[in-house]
Chain A
């Protein structure tokens, strides 16, 4: 049987980085080929060569055993290649329907056929279980739904090759299930798929073959059945990781942050607190109001009733500066829009919130700044030849690490992290976990929102589970397991629908 697609000895260099070094790889029809590797290993670069964004310096790309020659996004699309990019590639001001068909509209003559597109969009959305109408502006959708729109966009092209670059990083279990159902159906139709992810549990569920990359090189390709978690982790990180979640449990101190009966548009009567020395997990389904609660608490969004207390002091509403001043750091969910200035360097981004601390006399102390930044770059394993590299050119996971560095450098004592390890490789994840452990050891308190259950269970002292805008329950570390958290996450949903969870 012929190969659907093949990379032959592909190399690609960016200024200062060898992103791909003589990589060969292939894809069979009806196959899900998983690609894993640390942040900056070159996974996205490789996929962008398939979709015609980058041209390789050396090597060639074959489609049905025929060299492809010149490639552009348009040519790739004409060959039946569709890609779901790691960074959301949608236009917020356009409607769902316009986004799905952007670049390949259904036309009648030169006019676009809105009716046909509306109908097709509705079918597509229904087929992937998304309940939004095609006319909705994309900017009004949650990140998870925006991601699903990207998936619908790729599906709308009836492609033979589909690349998924971290499609699940902002989805939760229900949506991931839906996605996997679609992937299984596509596999049955003979579509070949590349699948990149840092969520290692899922690759065993969906993959047929796996390729591990490191530093622009291919380490190994093997059928997934011949691999196990330990081998994959070792392949990615280059070392054995016995226990990802390192926790010491320091004595708990005073209550640092407390929400009392907080009510807002998307959440009601939220009570929670964090003590010094504690990591609090905030679990729940996407849309259960977790992000909304912490955004309101930090003063970004308004709330209608209740109180936010920092060390017992009542905080004013809508005043993030005040909370930052009291030593609260907030890592938002949408790192691209709210966490980073893409056209600034790693250093500039990292110090932007800590300028006052690093330069107490308001004169910039360049030496000290650079030393501090280098320290965090090393601790977080940020892969870049220099700290002056523009954030725009970093790999997705590396950008996430820069956002983390930015808040860690502020030396805050209360951290609110919304999905802190999204898109981060296993090796670095474990470094971030030990950094968090170190922070609470020094008397900080952490609130961590996470959709990854193992992370919540592994890191938290206590877990609050939210469902439909309310705290459905609070579980101690000793009593927490998958079942108890999931049951709570679904509790009110099922009750309100008059059904009980089986």
Chain B
């Protein structure tokens, strides 16, 4: 029995998402090939740059595994950011502003969830619709202009969050500064929290079951509509949170800052092995997907290569990552086939 258990716990190469293979590949190539890539400073800024996308792709993966999609993410990000910035411009305390922003993000998620589960509108259409609503709200509220606020005691929290937790000067140049901004820590905490919920509560199993076959989930006594709605609420709140990160990083808020980010998040999630038909995938995969995308961008920029090449390289990375994963899967299948014949 004990050997039995051990084998089920064994580390499974093929269970790792594609994006980890892609990530390692890109990381190695970039480190060897791009001179200023593997420096403390660059790696730190890479983390900072990708943190917003990490949040969005985790949220996207959650919805995608459940067989849905959330296209409103980018505009909800902009809208929530604009609302938070406006609150602070009007002297509201940052904590209150953040609370309002996150609540409105969650409310939009609730709206998405109800439209999808109660009115039975396909998620693609439903969230496309609310994308329009959120975007025009962002535009109207901001008057299509960047919003600044006067820094004061009420906004000191934002100023604090803009700083670094760790800051080590390893050498004279800026590339030798290793730093970890508050933003990255915040991102890690939130993402860690979502992953914890996903793994240690029923959330993970339910999301997979709903995405794989909603009927089966329903027959197992799962309140599929409530759970699906909850996912969109989480996704909306996380988009709002990403808006907060954007606002802190730029110390201002543009109504267009979330443009197209939902599509990048879809690419990151898919790169992370989250099949768009639902039922399979992983949150960790999405994180590495996001990291890989930003790493490719970063490396090409450092190398001075035109950004239009970025998507081509990302496509190639996606294919190679999948190929490596397929190899690992085949290898594992062989092992399990052998194990089953030995058992028989």
A, B in one complex = yes
Docked complex Cα distance between A313 and B205 (Å)? 50
Segment at the interface with B among A92-100, A349-357, A363-371, A472-480:
A92-100
Cross-chain contact A110 with B201 (CB below 8 angstroms):
yes
Q: Contacts A91-B213, A91-B279: A102 and B222 contacting too (C-beta < 8 A)?
A: yes
Of all chain A residues, which has the CB nearest B280? A93
Cross-chain contact A94 with B8 (CB below 8 angstroms):
no
Of all chain B residues, which has the CB nearest A97? B8
Q: Is B219 an interface residue (CB 8 A)?
A: yes
Cross-chain contact A93 with B212 (CB below 8 angstroms):
yes
Cross-chain contact A105 with B219 (CB below 8 angstroms):
no
Q: Is B166 an interface residue (CB 8 A)?
A: no
Residues of A within 8 A of B216 (CB): 89-91
Q: Which size class do A's interface residues fall under?
A: 35 or more
Q: What are the nearest 4 A-B pairs in CB distance?
A: A135-B8, A103-B220, A133-B8, A103-B221
Of all chain B residues, which has the CB nearest A292? B337
Q: Is B223 an interface residue (CB 8 A)?
A: yes
Docked complex Cα distance between A102 and B202 (Å)? 8
Cross-chain contact A73 with B218 (CB below 8 angstroms):
yes
Residues of A within 8 A of B9 (CB): 135
Other CB < 8 Å A-B pairs besides A112-B201, A136-B8, 19 of them? Answer: A51-B219, A53-B219, A72-B221, A73-B220, A74-B221, A77-B221, A83-B219, A91-B217, A91-B279, A93-B208, A93-B280, A105-B202, A105-B205, A110-B201, A118-B5, A131-B343, A140-B336, A287-B340, A468-B341
Of all chain A residues, which has the CB nearest B8? A135
Q: Contacts A110-B201, A133-B4, A135-B9: A94 and B221 contacting too (C-beta < 8 A)?
A: no
Cross-chain contact B8 with A102 (CB below 8 angstroms):
no
Cross-chain contact A133 with B7 (CB below 8 angstroms):
yes
Cross-chain contact B219 with A94 (CB below 8 angstroms):
no
Q: Is the interface of B mostly helix, strand, loop or mixed?
A: helix
- Of B205, B219, B222, B337, which contacts A266 at CB under 8 A? B337
Docked complex Cα distance between A134 and B280 (Å)? 19
Min Cβ gap B199→A in Å is 9
Q: Is the interface of A mostly helix, strand, loop or mixed?
A: loop
- Of B1, B212, B337, B344, which contacts A92 at CB under 8 A? B212
Cross-chain contact A94 with B7 (CB below 8 angstroms):
no
Of all chain B residues, which has the CB nearest A288? B344
Q: Is A298 an interface residue (CB 8 A)?
A: no
Please count the residue pairs between chain A and chain B whose beta carbons lie under 8 angstroms apart in the complex: 83
Docked complex Cα distance between A84 and B5 (Å)? 27
Residues of A within 8 A of B120 (CB): none
Within 8 A of B (CB), among A327-357: none
Residues of A within 8 A of B7 (CB): 133
Task: Please report A residues at the B interface, Cβ cutoff 8 Å.
Answer: 51, 53, 72-74, 77, 83, 85, 89-94, 98, 102-105, 107, 110-112, 118, 122, 131, 133-136, 140, 265-266, 287, 468-469
The interface on chain B, measured as residues whose beta carbon lies within 8 A of the other chain's beta carbons, has a size of 34
Of all chain B residues, which has the CB nearest A93? B280
Cross-chain contact B221 with A104 (CB below 8 angstroms):
yes
Residues of B within 8 A of A134 (CB): 8
B207-249 interface bits toward A, Cβ cutoff 8 Å, 1 = contact, 0 = none? 0110011011111111100000000000000000000000000
Of all chain B residues, which has the CB nearest A119? B5
Min Cβ gap A288→B in Å is 9
Cross-chain contact A102 with B220 (CB below 8 angstroms):
yes
Min Cβ gap B286→A in Å is 16
Min Cβ gap B97→A in Å is 29
- Of B209, B218, B343, which contacts A94 at CB under 8 A? B209
Most buried by B among A53, A72, A102, A104: A102
Cross-chain contact B202 with A73 (CB below 8 angstroms):
no
- Of A72, A102, A111, A118, which contacts B205 at CB under 8 A? A102
- Of B1, B201, B222, which contacts A103 at CB under 8 A? B222
Q: Contacts A73-B220, A103-B221, A133-B7: A111 and B200 contacting too (C-beta < 8 A)?
A: yes
Docked complex Cα distance between A129 and B334 (Å)? 24
Min Cβ gap B333→A in Å is 8
Min Cβ gap A125→B in Å is 10
Of all chain B residues, which has the CB nearest A104? B221
Cross-chain contact A91 with B5 (CB below 8 angstroms):
no
Residues of B within 8 A of A111 (CB): 200-201
Within 8 A of A (CB), among B312-340: 333-334, 336-337, 340
Of all chain B residues, which has the CB nearest A113? B200
